[in-house]
């Protein structure tokens, strides 16, 4: 697979940043008669639908009509996210589950200690002496989110704190930057892996360059070498 094809596929379907098991807050129905529920995401078909398990409260089935609007809020990886959806169907065996439409857009409120910028920069990474091609999805002064193609080179078992080296070329620069970090969390679907990376605290030229690049984009004070 060519690098451009890998990058395009890594970015496809990236609207919804979530994984199964995440708790959701739901508001079902019109504004003047909303039913508030909590639920758990138990599955999805990207670009098609979500499956949410909800508690069996007396009379709740009568309030869950097809095409009813749903406002969803959830917390994931340090951010608060929200989107609107609608009910496609509802089943009550083996447990009460909602099938909801897949969102077209998601609102984000960032709760991280440092501001984060979307980057979508081509990158490569070395993990346990194996090379992987991918995309740096977003980046802050303290870390980044990295999506890797793992189909051609199987991903080894990765533990929290695993060290990783990332090579990327910043916009407007000619020389690739090498940055070191540690894996904080990871999602893997067998073909692609997405991981949160915390940068190593050091004063190398690469890290100062990364932090000044982020600062320039986000209008933050620059670091001085």
Is the same domain home to 212 and 139? yes
Q: What is the pLDDT of residue 190?
A: 67
Q: What is the pLDDT of residue 221?
A: 46
**For the residues of 149-166, what is the DSSP string, one character each?**
E-SSSPPPP--TT-EEEE
Domain final residue, candidates 82, 105, 128: 105
Is the same domain home to 154 and 207? yes
Domain final residue, candidates 105, 133, 159: 105
Range of the domain at 74: 23-105
Does residue 58 sit within a domain? yes
**For the residues of 40-62, what is the DSSP string, one character each?**
EEEEEETTTEEEEE----TT-GG
Is the same domain home to 157 and 201? yes
Is the same domain home to 96 and 123? no
Q: What is the pLDDT of residue 41?
A: 93
* Mean per-residue pLDDT, 71-85: 81
Does residue 133 sit within a domain? yes
Neighbours of 192 (CB within 10 A): 20
Neighbours of 87 (CB within 10 A): 20
Q: What is the pLDDT of residue 77?
A: 66
* Mean per-residue pLDDT, 78-87: 83
Does residue 155 sit within a domain? yes
Higher pLDDT, 161 or 201: 161
Length of the chain: 225
CA 185 to each of CA 19, 144, 151, 175: distance values in angstroms, whole numbers, following the listed order: 12, 11, 19, 29
Q: What is the pLDDT of residue 138?
A: 80
CB burial class (10 A; 0-12, 13-18, 19+) of residue 132?
buried
Q: What is the pLDDT of residue 85?
A: 93
pLDDT digits (tens, 9 = 90+) for 20-77: 888 898 888 877 777 888 889 999 988 899 999 988 877 777 778 888 899 998 877 6
Strands 116-127 and 130-140: antiparallel
Rounded Cα gap, residues 122 and 152, in angstroms? 17
Is the same domain home to 89 and 168? no
* Mean per-residue pLDDT, 95-102: 92
Is the same domain home to 92 and 157? no
Q: What is the pLDDT of residue 89?
A: 92
Say what the pTM is.
0.49
């Amino acid at each position: 697979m060519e690098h451009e094809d890998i990058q395009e596929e890594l970015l496809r379907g990236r609207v919804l940043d979530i994984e199964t098991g995440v708790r959701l807050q739901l508001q079902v129905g019109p504004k003047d008669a909303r039913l508030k529920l909590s639920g758990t995401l138990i599955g999805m078909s990207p670009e098609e639908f979500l499956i949410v398990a909800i508690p069996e409260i007396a009379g709740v089935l009568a309030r869950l009509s097809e095409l009813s609007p749903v406002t969803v809020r959830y917390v994931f990886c340090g951010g608060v996210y929200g989107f609107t959806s609608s009910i496609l169907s509802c089943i009550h065996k083996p447990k009460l589950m909602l099938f909801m439409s897949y969102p077209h857009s998601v609102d984000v409120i960032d709760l991280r200690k440092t501001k984060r910028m979307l980057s979508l920069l081509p990158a490569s990474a070395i993990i346990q002496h194996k090379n992987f091609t991918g995309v740096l999805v977003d980046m802050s002064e303290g870390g980044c989110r990295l999506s890797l193609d793992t189909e051609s080179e199987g991903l080894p078992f990765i533990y929290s704190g695993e060290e990783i080296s990332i090579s990327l070329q910043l916009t407007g620069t000619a020389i690739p930057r090498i940055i070191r970090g540690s894996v904080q969390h990871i999602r893997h679907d067998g073909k692609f892996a997405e991981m949160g990376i915390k940068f190593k605290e050091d004063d190398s030229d690469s890290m100062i360059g990364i932090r000044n690049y982020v600062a320039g984009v986000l209008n933050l004070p620059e670091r001085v070498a």
